[in-house]
Copies of this chain bind each other. A is one copy, B any other.
Amino acid sequence: MDNRERILLAAARVYAVHGFRGATTRLIANEAGVNEVTLFRTFGSKAALFEAMMHAHVAATPLPELPDAPADPQAELTSWCAVMMAHMREARSIIRTSIGEMGERPDAALSVCEGPSCAAVQLTAYVGRLRAAGLADETADVPTAVSMFMSSMFGDAVCRDIMPHAFPQPAEEAPARYVDTFLRAVGVSRAAVGHRIKASPQARRAAAK
């Protein structure tokens, strides 16, 4: 691992705890085990360093995907949700700090919210496919359900460690429970899914993969 990478990782760690103002170049250099001057020679300025850090961070976390042809919504959504939450939980300190600095540095917060935004679009499209396949209730308030589901995932991943009493179920059970409640809200019952999967050639094809 070269110095550049070491500094980027150290900057992320220090930023997560102390914020932009509190993350002094001295602290970062110590954490990275390099001389403070090296930091300036490599990145030019503190601001440039943090820009590079944010960019590297979002580039390193790819979104999970939802299948084009839904076969088992409960299982597919649960694993998708678990991966999303794991990503967000891992970055929770950086997310919190970035959101907290929204007033001073909007760019950081916006780049952090990019991932969840794309995920919401993905999820909405997936529910659209469920509907097209006749698996979801046509009258459900899908936008509201999606937004509540995303809020729950985000809130759990980012806040569980600081206010654990707000999340009664154990962390490993949470994705399945959120998905369960979400599916009920958009009118996808287990019975209906089992019934339709047998009836729908599209779903049968997907399940056969």
Contacts and interface: CB of A to CB of B under 8 A. Distances in A.
Contact of A101 (B19, B98, B147, B151): B19
Contacts of A156: 147, 151
Given A147-B166, A162-B102, A19 B17 contact: no
Interface string A184-205: 1100000000000000000000
B109 A162 contact: yes
A19 B166 contact: no
Interface stretch (A49-57, A125-133, A174-182): A174-182
Contacts of A113: 159, 162-163, 166
Interface residues of A, number: 52
A181 B148 CA distance: 9
20 contacts: A18-B103, A19-B101, A21-B21, A22-B104, A96-B99, A97-B101, A109-B162, A110-B163, A113-B163, A117-B165, A143-B169, A144-B174, A144-B180, A145-B181, A147-B156, A147-B166, A147-B168, A148-B178, A151-B151, A185-B185
Given A96-B102, A97-B103, A184-B184, 19 more contacts: A16-B103, A18-B103, A19-B101, A96-B103, A97-B100, A99-B100, A99-B162, A100-B100, A110-B163, A143-B168, A144-B168, A144-B177, A144-B178, A144-B181, A147-B167, A151-B151, A151-B152, A151-B166, A184-B185
Interface of A: 16-19, 21-22, 93, 96-104, 106, 109-110, 113, 116-117, 120, 141, 143-152, 154-156, 159, 162-163, 165-169, 174, 177-178, 180-181, 184-185
